[in-house]
Amino acid sequence: MSGKTYLHVDMDAFFASVEQRDHPEWKGKPVIVGGLPTERRSVVSTASYEARAFGVHSAMPTQRAYELCPNGIYVHGNMKHYSEVSSKIMEILSNYTPDIDQISIDEASLDLTGTQMLFGPSDDLARKIQAEILTETGLTVSCGLASTKYLAKLASEVNKPNGFFMIPEGDEEKFMLNLPLKKVWGIGGKTLERMNASGFFTTRDVHEKPIEVLKMVFGEAMGTFLFNVARGIEMESEKKKSHSLSNETTFPFDIKDIYAAETALMELSYSLMFRLLKEELCSRTVFVKIRFEDFSTVTVQETGEFITSGDMLFEKAKKLLEKKFSVEKGIRLLGVGVQNVEKGLEGNQGVLFDFGEKKKMALEKAVLKLKSKHPETKIQKARLFSKSHFSGEK
Ligand code: TTP
Ligand code: MG
């Protein structure tokens, strides 16, 4: 097979574990981070494993959580604090490979291929990393090891919390065939319903069907995905073939302040731009996805000239956000993305970009280089706040 080794790292009940660490009297108790039960329409950001035993989980309305777990400890989250803890964890991880992909605030994928000469067998290293994170931060983490990024993520979920699972090379297909359909990452609730309705209940059911049948029943993209995933084949081309790239974040509280929303949007825009530059992709179509506190979701998009810098992406995204923002409706999730992605930023830039944009792009490329060499470096951009027409007080 590929000869590659990926380690997926995912902190256990991250926000709740940080709270339990900071308040030792809460250890072993059901802790629910998010809104308080008295706050109408608030939702659970995450719950400690003790609270999960009552059926409480992320994104559940806090009032429902309270019905299930009235003796739980309900606390507001502190994003800034969790980000700091996250940086510390990412710093530890980056000591073992420069090839690290931070997937979310508490998850990262490490390419450990070739590090065995330096650090020994990867399963030993995974356990060493778990121990180091525990010593340094007082938090537990679950790790998965496999020959693809995708399978390593699935492996990290097998023995959660404080778990470790390795899919030995050659066992990829066997692992997938024993995985319940709902655990297949990429099969959401709606797809699962559709699959069940068409008589697919296990990965084995998928595996038995020829690709043509899967494409016919589920469409070209989903059919191909299912065919590959049931075989444990890395969807190598998935990223390249996918015509959109996006970044989104769920807030621990619903955001009602435009400035906070714009700041989050800026971070999302910049990290998305880094990905575009890294993969040498370009696009003309920007979209912003907003999920409001009542879970209604809107996507607004606009097609224009090629996006050539993080600033440009952010400015466009900000305008789209402004179209849908309302102080009356808190924002639960915010995302920014690009569609109709094309290969070949390099080839296009000469004709498409003016000098100012070129300079900006060169700067961002330099920052990107620095970032990939030193993933621990936090590159932050001072935000020049341009007054938007409804930002009011600032
Ligand atoms: P997850 O890694 O999905 O969850 P977790 O770390 O709490 O639990 P697990 O042991 O299953 O990994 O998300 C990381 C953090 O992101 C989580 O602690 C809180 C936040 N989050 C939300 O705010 N809302 C959400 O809907 C989800 C899924 C996560
Ligand atoms: Mg986690």
Give 248's strand partners: 335
From the CA of 46, how far away is ligand 1's center (Å)? 5
Find out whether the beta carbon of 105 lies less than 6 Å from any atom of ligand 1.
Answer: yes
Round the average pLDDT of the chain to a whole number and report it.
84
Q: What is the pLDDT of residue 364?
A: 63
158's CB contacts (< 8 A; 6+ apart) are 144, 165
pLDDT bucket at 259, cuts 50 / 70 / 90: confident
- Secondary structure in 3-state letters for 213-268: HHHHHHCHHHHHHHHHHCCCCCCHHHHHHCCEEEEEEEEEEEECCHHHHHHHHHHH
pLDDT bucket at 357, cuts 50 / 70 / 90: low
Q: Which atom of ligand 1 is nearest to the CA of 160?
A: 10
* Structure token pair of residue 32: 């629910």
Instruction: Determine whether 312 is exposed, middle or buried from the number of CB atoms within 10 Å of its CB (0-12, 13-18, 19+).
Output: buried
Q: What is the pLDDT of residue 241?
A: 44
Q: What is the pLDDT of residue 374?
A: 56
**What span, in angstroms and rounded, lies between the C-alpha atoms of 190 and 265?**
28
Tell me if residue 53 falls in helix, strand or coil.
coil
Pocket perturbation via mutation, ligand 1, pick of 89, 106, 248, 253 by most ligand atoms within 8 A of CB: 106
More confident residue, 173 or 243: 173
Q: What is the pLDDT of residues 111-161, one digit of tens each?
A: 999 888 889 999 999 999 999 999 999 999 999 999 999 999 999 999 999
Ligand nearest to the CA of 83: 1
Percentage of residues in the chain with pLDDT exceeding 70? 84
Find out whether the beta carbon of 161 lies less than 6 Å from any atom of ligand 1.
Answer: yes
| Helix H or strand E segment including 145 | strand 141-146
Question: At residue 28, does pLDDT exceed 70?
Answer: yes
Reference 227, options 193, 200, 263, 258; nearest CA is 200
Sign of the dihedral through C-alpha 186, 190, 195, 196: positive
Least confident of 60-74, 136-150, 283-297: 283-297
Q: What is the pLDDT of residue 355?
A: 40
Q: Which atom of ligand 1 is nearest to the CA of 59?
A: 26
pLDDT bucket at 300, cuts 50 / 70 / 90: very high
Reference 317, options 329, 330, 304; nearest CA is 304
Least confident of 66-70, 177-181, 184-188, 313-317: 184-188
Catalytic residues: 107
From the CA of 192, how far away is ligand 1's center (Å)? 22
Number of other CB atoms surrounding residue 36 within 10 Å: 13
Question: At residue 317, does pLDDT exceed 60?
Answer: yes
Ligand nearest to the CA of 12: 1
Q: How many alpha carbons fall within 13 Å on the CB side of residue 388?
A: 19
Q: What is the pTM of this model?
A: 0.66
Question: At residue 351, does pLDDT exceed 80?
Answer: no
Find out whether the beta carbon of 108 lies less than 6 Å from any atom of ligand 1.
Answer: no
Reference 52, options 161, 143, 154; nearest CA is 161
Tell me if residue 246 falls in helix, strand or coil.
strand
Mean pLDDT, residues 238-249: 68
pLDDT bucket at 391, cuts 50 / 70 / 90: very low
Q: What is the pLDDT of residue 354?
A: 37
Mean pLDDT, residues 185-205: 91
Question: At residue 315, does pLDDT exceed 70?
Answer: yes
Question: At residue 43, does pLDDT exceed 70?
Answer: yes
pLDDT bucket at 378, cuts 50 / 70 / 90: very low
pLDDT bucket at 30, cuts 50 / 70 / 90: very high
From the CA of 246, how far away is ligand 1's center (Å)? 19
pLDDT bucket at 203, cuts 50 / 70 / 90: very high
Mean pLDDT, residues 91-113: 88
- CA distances in angstroms from 56 to 6, 62, 383, listed in the order given: 31, 9, 38
Q: Which atom of ligand 1 is nearest to the CA of 44?
A: 24
Question: At residue 7, does pLDDT exceed 70?
Answer: yes
**What span, in angstroms and rounded, lies between the C-alpha atoms of 263 and 198?**
44
In degrees, rounded to 5, the angle at the alpha carbon of residue 345 between the alpha carbons of residues 340 and 351 is: 105
Mean pLDDT, residues 212-230: 91
303's CB contacts (< 8 A; 6+ apart) are 284, 285, 340
**What span, in angstroms and rounded, lies between the C-alpha atoms of 161 and 141?**
7
| Helix H or strand E segment including 48 | none
**What span, in angstroms and rounded, lies between the C-alpha atoms of 334 and 223?**
29
Residue holding tokens 């939702």? 43
Find out whether the beta carbon of 10 lies less than 6 Å from any atom of ligand 1.
Answer: yes
Mean pLDDT, residues 15-25: 98
Q: What is the pLDDT of residue 68?
A: 98
More confident residue, 363 or 77: 77
Mean pLDDT, residues 34-48: 88
Q: Which atom of ligand 1 is nearest to the CA of 106?
A: 14
Least confident of 119-133, 270-284, 355-369: 355-369
Q: What is the pLDDT of residue 93?
A: 94
More confident residue, 388 or 310: 310
- CA distances in angstroms from 161 to 45, 229, 265, 293, 309, listed in the order given: 17, 25, 31, 29, 40
